[in-house]
Amino acid sequence: MKIQIVRVELFKVSMALVREFETSSHRKGWIEHILVRATDSEGFVGWGESASPSDPYFCSENVDTCWLMLERYLVPALLGATWRTPIEAFGLAHINGNAFARAATDMACWDLYSRHLGQSMAEVLGGDAKTIEAGVSLGIEPTIDALLDVVAAYVNEGYRRVKLKIAPGWEAEPCRQVLRSFPGIALQVDGNGAFSPNDHRDTFSRLDKLGLTMIEQPFAADDLVAHAELQRRLSTPVCLDESVTSPAAARTALALDACRIVNVKVSRLGGLGPARAVHDICRAAGVPVWCGGMHEFGVGRAANLALASLPGFVFPSDVSGSDKYYERDIVSPPIIAKDGKVLVPRSVPGLGHEVVFGEVQRHLTGHATLSISQ
């Protein structure tokens, strides 16, 4: 089987969040991502999503840089070329970095490939789970009482894992109050690199006494030594997110014992292929993983769901229902969590959730078309 992409459309889409979301670096009330629709010479269509942040706080990429990389480099490298597997297609663009942009074309290629095979994306990736336990990621709230109200709403919906964003001054006490009010939940925290290894030793000693599932990315992404030193002091597992930007980075982090858990994000790693490779590396090393999210629309969320069906994903993943984020998503059927679990599509080829083009057009802020006839 050979696949040749002959036309690619880029759609910049902006949607309001149901609830504003605050991390240690900023607060946001809307999300703008880029969707990719790739059509091949046989008329098959594959969709991908670049779930980059709009601003360079989480990483160096943003929507504008991703649009540039897609339009000028990644899409032209794919157009007209023939490939047999998505891994082969991934190697067609010889560019450095730009993982969030690469994830969009990679995802579209996996969707196309799966549709050609007549199999679900989960099956093609090698996943066998029928349902995924979903967790919720909650931002920083104005008060602890407000946070408890938000947690209560999701616990009542059946979610059993809660992740709290933390920042200096908003760490141990919010966690303590959440655990006191909801003793049965699994609680983890995420620092997004906001803490200094030298200035916050007492903070992590306090957090270590709470029985958290994990402490995610407390320090800067490139400071693996600080993470390794922290892990040696704590009984709570350290989880790495921003630090794991490639399979090679994952091997380095594991060799340094810088973590005991890895957050695997399709966008941050540049696509489903590299994400699956990190899963395989961690599984071989006996290190559990979970699937993180970037407030994806339905396309990226469906890809995350397929990835999270792989056997190494043993912790609840950020694949909660779309209605937690958006009033109406861009895919049908919508991705729904029931009793804290999400069904993995297995009977429909590709992503298993079809794009509702009218919804894409309703939220459209930019559009471009590239084809081999240009």
Active site residue 130: no
- Structural domain boundaries in the chain: 3-118+357-371, 123-343
Q: Average pLDDT of 54-75?
A: 90
Q: How far is it between the farthest Cα atoms of the chain?
A: 63
- Other C-beta atoms closer than 10 Å to the C-beta of 106 total 29
Q: What mean pLDDT value characterizes the chain?
A: 93
Confidence (pLDDT) at 28: 66
Measured distance CA(149)–CA(136) in Å, rounded: 14
Token pair 């297995």 is at which residue? 346
DSSP H or E segment with residue 123: helix 121-125
Rounded to 5°, angle at Cα 315 from 232 and 355: 135
2, 130, 163, 165: the active-site residue: 165
Instruction: Report residue 22's pLDDT band, with 50, 70 and 90 as the boundaries.
Output: low
CATH topology of domain 3-118+357-371: Enolase-like; domain 1 (3.30.390)
Quote the percentage of the chain above a pLDDT of 70: 97
Whether the pLDDT of residue 128 is over 70: the answer is: yes
What average pLDDT does this structure show over 298-323? 93
Q: Using only the alpha carbons of the chain, give its radius of gyration.
A: 20
Residue 49's nearest CA partner among 36, 67, 66 is 36
> Is-catalytic flag, 265?
yes
The answer on pLDDT for 14 being more than 90 is yes
With contact defined as beta carbons under 8 Å apart, do 258 and 237 qualify?
Answer: no
Q: How far is CA 48 from the centre of its chain?
A: 13
What is the C-alpha separation between 189 and 175, in angstroms, rounded? 8
Up-side HSE of residue 354: CA atoms within 13 Å toward CB? 7
Query: What confidence category does residue 201 fall into, taking pLDDT thresholds of 50, 70 and 90?
Result: confident
Which pLDDT score is estimated for 21? 66
Consecutive H or E run containing 225: helix 224-233
For residue 23, pLDDT beyond 70: no
Three-class DSSP category at 316: coil
Q: Looking at the predicted structure, is the pLDDT value of residue 30 above 90?
A: no
Residues in the chain: 374
- Provide the pLDDT confidence category of residue 26 given band limits of 50, 70 and 90: low
Q: Please, what sign has the CA dihedral across residues 122, 324, 23, 97?
A: positive
Marked catalytic residue, from 28, 163, 209, 265: 265
3-state secondary structure of 275: helix
| Contact by Cβ (8 Å): 85, 113 | yes
Cα dihedral value 370, 102, 289, 330, nearest 10: -30
pLDDT band at 60 (very low <50, low <70, confident <90, very high): confident
> Comparing 3-118+357-371 with 123-343, is the CATH topology the same?
no
Look at residue 27 in the predicted model and tell me its pLDDT.
67
Q: Give the predicted TM-score (pTM) of the model.
A: 0.94
pLDDT digits (tens, 9 = 90+) for 269-283: 999 999 999 999 999
Helix (H, G, I), strand (E, B) or coil at 11: strand
Four-residue CA torsion sign, 167, 169, 170, 173: positive
Question: Which residue type occupies 219?
Answer: F
Amino acid at the residue 166 = I
Q: Model confidence at 25, in pLDDT bands (50, 70, 90)?
A: low
**Three-class SS state of 272:** helix
Query: Among 34, 35, 46, which Cα is nearest to 5's?
Result: 46
| H or E stretch at 363 | none
What is the average pLDDT across 204-209? 96
Domain 123-343 has CATH 3.60.9.10: no
For residue 263, CA distances in Å to 23, 64, 118, 132, 363 come to 17, 25, 30, 15, 30
Q: Which pLDDT score is estimated for 171?
A: 95
Evaluate if residue 86 carries a pLDDT over 80. Answer: yes
Given a cut of 90, is residue 152 above it in pLDDT? yes
